[in-house]
Amino acid sequence: MPSTVVVGGFFGDEGKGKIISYLSKKDNPSIVVRGGAGPNAGHTIKDGNTTYKVRMLPSGFLNKNARVMIGPGVVVNPKVFFKEIEEFGVSDRAFLDRHCGIIEQNHLEQDSKGQLKEKIGSTGSGTGPANAERAMRTLKMAKDVGSLSSYIIDVPSEINTALKNQEKILVEGTQGTHLSLWHGTYPFVTSKDVTASGICADIGLGPKNVNEVLVVFKAYLTRVGTGPMPNELSSDETEQKGWGEFGTVTGRPRRAAEFDFNLASRAIMLNSATQLAITKLDVRFPECAGVKSINDLDNEAKSFIKNIEEKLNVPVTLIGTGPLIDDVIDIRT
């Protein structure tokens, strides 16, 4: 803080939603703003007994003092936007930029068949086809949709003014570094750059106004959809380790592998990471479930974290130890 950009370091689903919810409660930013591709991204947040599945709004909405915003680089499905506003009760503090692109029925249809579905394993959310149309300069914008008019705000002005006024802003990225259109495993990637630089461009935050870049890694690797993944485990091995997961948006089983230092190191370089978060430590080391202090981790878990810091040379500042928002070890200084 004052401005912290949170991005995924692997193939998405690193647990950004939970980390962002934690930071939005703990650090009390006045704005939580989402960059990234579109409603192809799904974040799961568990607050007590309630589970939220978020695709369109920033995950920071649980902090009632925060305004939540979607930057102009993001494509929006108005149906998903309105559904989440109602479900989360945030109609008085949720906003989007007039230049957000609009996903329509034809984008959903194009995304659910042919090469996007079969070869790339797209999420079918219409995000890629809408971004393609945006590049063609034919996509409808939020300002052209009457029902959105009361939610429109100048997102770049709002966030830059907040920073001038010494307020904190939290920037939420989507997907993960190795799904970036520029830097990922092309063609098995999403339809935008999703590294920190791309996310900042999506919301209108210039590079000199970024204070912290927090790259989130899961304690193991998962990937949903097609495309290469180093040292991929068989589904039996995945099951045995307890690393089997299902996609938030698509419900598809996620493929899994061991934590990968090459991918992690490249993500740190591409994002200029200043801090790392490691999530799901409790899935790897069940003894760590719910632990809130680094001193209470057992030796195996401690050396797993220490090894990451030594090999990657960036401090691990947040560690996820369970599905609840507060299941976090916070070692920021």
Catalogue the active-site residues.
Answer: 13, 43
Yes or no: say if 300 and 289 are a contact pair by the CB < 8 Å rule. no
DSSP tag of 283: H
Q: Which stretch binds Mg ion (CB under 5 A): 38-46, 178-186, 291-299, 308-316?
A: 38-46
Residue appearing with tokens 């090459």:
262
Yes or no: say if 71 and 87 are a contact pair by the CB < 8 Å rule. no
Q: Which stretch binds ligand IMP (CB under 6 A): 20-28, 82-90, 133-141, 187-195?
A: 187-195
For residue 253, the partner it binds in Mg ion, ligand IMP, none, with Cβ less than 5 to 8 A by kind, is none
Whose Cβ is closer to Mg ion: residue 248's or residue 321's? 248
For residue 121, the partner it binds in ligand IMP, Mg ion, none, with Cβ less than 5 to 8 A by kind, is ligand IMP
Among 29, 198, 225, 320, binds ligand IMP (CB under 6 A): 225
CB neighbours of residue 202 within 10 Å = 28
Number of amino acids touching Mg ion (CB under 5 A): 3
Should residue 195 be labelled a site residue for ligand IMP when binding is judged by CB under 6 A?
no
Yes or no: say if 30 and 66 are a contact pair by the CB < 8 Å rule. yes
Residue appearing with tokens 């490691």:
278
Phi, psi of 150 (to 5 degrees): -75, -10
Should residue 193 be labelled a site residue for Mg ion when binding is judged by CB under 5 A?
no
Yes or no: say if 14 and 216 are a contact pair by the CB < 8 Å rule. yes
- At residue 52, what is the residue type? Y
Cis bond upstream, residue 2 (ω within 30): yes
Should residue 279 be labelled a site residue for ligand IMP when binding is judged by CB under 6 A?
no
Should residue 59 be labelled a site residue for ligand IMP when binding is judged by CB under 6 A?
no
The answer for residues whose C-beta is within 8 angstroms of residue 27's C-beta and 6 or more apart is 1, 4, 168, 170
Minimum CB distance to ligand IMP, residue 41 (Å) = 4
Should residue 76 be labelled a site residue for ligand IMP when binding is judged by CB under 6 A?
no
Minimum CB distance to ligand IMP, residue 191 (Å) = 5
How far is 325 from 311, CA to CA, in rounded Å? 28
Among 248, 274, 275, 279, binds Mg ion (CB under 5 A): 248
Should residue 191 be labelled a site residue for ligand IMP when binding is judged by CB under 6 A?
yes
Tell which positions 113-172 bind ligand IMP, by CB under 6 A.
120-123, 125, 127-128
Among 5, 7, 23, 41, binds ligand IMP (CB under 6 A): 41
Among 2, 29, 39, 42, binds Mg ion (CB under 5 A): 42
Cis bond upstream, residue 187 (ω within 30): yes
Yes or no: say if 44 and 21 are a contact pair by the CB < 8 Å rule. no
DSSP tag of 257: E
Three-state DSSP state, 74 = coil
Should residue 19 be labelled a site residue for ligand IMP when binding is judged by CB under 6 A?
no
Q: Which residues bind Mg ion (CB under 5 A)?
A: 13, 42, 248
| Residues near ligand IMP, by CB under 6 A | 11-13, 37, 40-42, 120-123, 125, 127-128, 174-175, 179, 188, 190-191, 224-227
